[in-house]
Amino acid sequence: MNMPKKTILVVDDEPDIRQLLQEILEDEGYGVEVAENAEVARRQRLEHTPDLILLDIWMPDEDGISLLKDWLKEDGLCPVIMMSGHATVETAVEATRLGAYDFLEKPLSMAKLLVTVERAMETAQLRRENIGLKRRMDVPVEPIGKSLVMEKLRDQIKRLAQHDARVLLLGEPGSGKETLARYLHANSPRRDGPFVDVGVGTIASSHSAVEFFGRVDGDQIQHGLLEQAHGGTLFLDEVAHMEPETQVRLMSALESNSFSRVGGSELIHVDVRIIASTCKSLEEEVRAGRFRPELYYLLNVVALKVPALSEHSEDIPDLLKFYVDYFVSREKLPFRRFPVAVQNFLRNYPWHGNIRELKNLVQRLLILGTGEEVELEEVKASVGEHVVTSPSETSQNQPDFYNLPLKEARERFEKAYLEYHLDKYSGSVARLSAAIGLERTHLYRKLNSLGIRFREKR
């Protein structure tokens, strides 16, 4: 797969400079658009969404500093390099203070220009990657497990990654479909491009089109998910929940690799690989009239079944080790060991919630339990199995928060309970509110009072 060219917008009122910069930058392998004034520059930026802008300060209709202010309000990820032959030191300082990546004096040194452009591109890429890292803190680097099932699945993913076909991941909730999507992206030629994931069911129907395709309101631009994923991968988690209108627009965008933003008329061209997932039968959704058959066929180029945890239970010891290490290092929870008897019990547990349920169980046991070793009865109680014990055994095996004052014990339970369900519903407070029967305003207050950072779970 050929990665798309990085695009540079050159804004300068001098024709000779525009032509010179265009020739040099195109010779370096960049795509170049030019604009002779602010009006044309605004239009070109809307249409082409450049990766970098070279902007002259002094122009006849509107100065470059004013343009810089407007553009940085809308998109701080596109670096802007200012140029001028008549600027004072104060002007250069103001430009960089406002957020320009750098300032170049005319006449331009071509060697310095090319180095500055390359560094600005690298800096912007790192910023995008850092934003992406914040969104995938909970996700393992690769699917965990040494079972034949997982070995075969990893092999299939690696082979699929070398081709640009759309992939539909089928599997139960919590079985690790997002992890597999990220693994596919990381092993593909698009690995240096963005990976954008979206829980389709968490997007309000009234905002669905704007979220996917962006919006234009005068000179203000909101970039949608498809644009954010340009040159990389867009992962549509639980795609069966997509709104009918958005299905039609996405179908058109996938067929032509282009779309118009909401409120705009310019065609935006994108190069994006789509990976979708579902726990529902899309064939049944099509028959019921809830999912467009044309979109189903577009997404279902290659279908891959993700096994339930019960189908590779021999991987449970490795998963337990991973999540213990994760919570100890990331959340500073106390280390606890899962002895062989406990591992054996968990290997035979049905795991209706799959890997997500196991992760939540580990977190609960580290938060609420005591002692360096996890007890079997403690695990059975945590997963809902009632174990008959004598009164003396009951007093020994009860959770440690039983000995706390009622207020503190309730807070410990509520925090673990809400974190479990918030993770279950992919960070959606709206879905959590409906599931547990607590009005959303009260739920927000409760989450804040317990110190649950729900915004980071999205």
Give the per-residue pLDDT at 138. 46
pLDDT in tens, 42-57: 888 877 778 899 999 8
Residue pair 171/307 in contact by the 8 Å Cβ criterion: yes
Report pLDDT for 137. 43
Q: Is residue 367 located within the same domain as residue 431?
A: no
Q: Are residues 289 and 157 in the same domain?
A: yes
* Number of domains making up the chain: 4
CATH of the domain at 389: 1.10.8.60
Given 401, 418, 442, which residue is the final one in a domain? 401
Q: What are 311's two structure tokens? A: 């189908």
pLDDT band at 130 (very low <50, low <70, confident <90, very high): low
Q: Based on the domain organization, do 54 and 129 belong to the same domain? A: yes
Question: Residue 192 CB: number of other CB atoms within 10 A?
Answer: 11
- Segment 122-146 mean pLDDT: 64
Residues 450 and 389 placed together within one structural domain of the fold: no
Strand partners, 87: none
Predicted confidence (pLDDT) per residue in 19-48, tens digit: 999 999 998 889 999 999 988 998 888 777
Q: Cβ neighbours of residue 270 under 8 Å, at least 6 residues apart?
A: 226, 227, 229, 230, 253, 257, 258, 259
pLDDT of 140: 52
For residues 348 and 419, state if they share a domain. Answer: no
User: Does position 225 have pLDDT exceeding 60, yes or no?
Assistant: yes
Q: How confident is the model at residue 395 (pLDDT cuts 50, 70, 90)?
A: very low
Where are the alpha helices (H) located in 300-336, listed in sequence order?
316-330
- State whether 239 and 225 are in the same domain: yes
Q: What is the mean pLDDT of the chain?
A: 84
Amino acid at 434: A
At residue 400, the pLDDT reads 61
35 is a domain residue: yes
Please tell me whether residues 175 and 224 are part of one structural domain.
Answer: yes
Higher pLDDT, 400 or 380: 380
Report yes or no on 141 lying in a domain.
no
139 within domain boundaries: no
Q: Check whether residue 157 and residue 54 sit in a common domain.
A: no
Last residue of a domain, one of 103, 134, 165: 134
380 domain residue, yes or no: yes
Q: Which residue has the higher pLDDT, 400 or 15?
A: 15
- Shared-domain flag, residues 302 and 156: yes
64: CATH:
3.40.50.2300
pLDDT average, residue stretch 318-326: 93
CB 379: neighbour CB atoms within 10 A?
22
Question: Do 456 and 353 have their domain in common?
Answer: no
Q: Do 248 and 320 reside in the same domain of the chain?
A: no
Helical pair 440-449 and 406-424, crossing angle rounded to 10 deg: 120
Mean pLDDT of the 281-294 span: 93
| Residue 391 pLDDT grade (very low, low, confident, very high; cuts 50, 70, 90) | very low
Predicted confidence (pLDDT) at residue 156 exceeds the cutoff of 90: yes
Q: What is the pLDDT of residue 456?
A: 42
Q: Can you give the pLDDT at residue 108?
A: 86
Instruction: Give the domain range for residue 71.
Output: 7-134
The confidence score (pLDDT) of residue 141 equals 65
168-209: pLDDT as tens digits = 999 999 999 999 999 999 999 998 889 999 888 777 777 788
Say whether both 57 and 168 belong to one domain. no
| pLDDT band at residue 128 under the 50/70/90 scheme | low
Count Cα atoms within 13 angstroms, Cβ side, for 273.
31
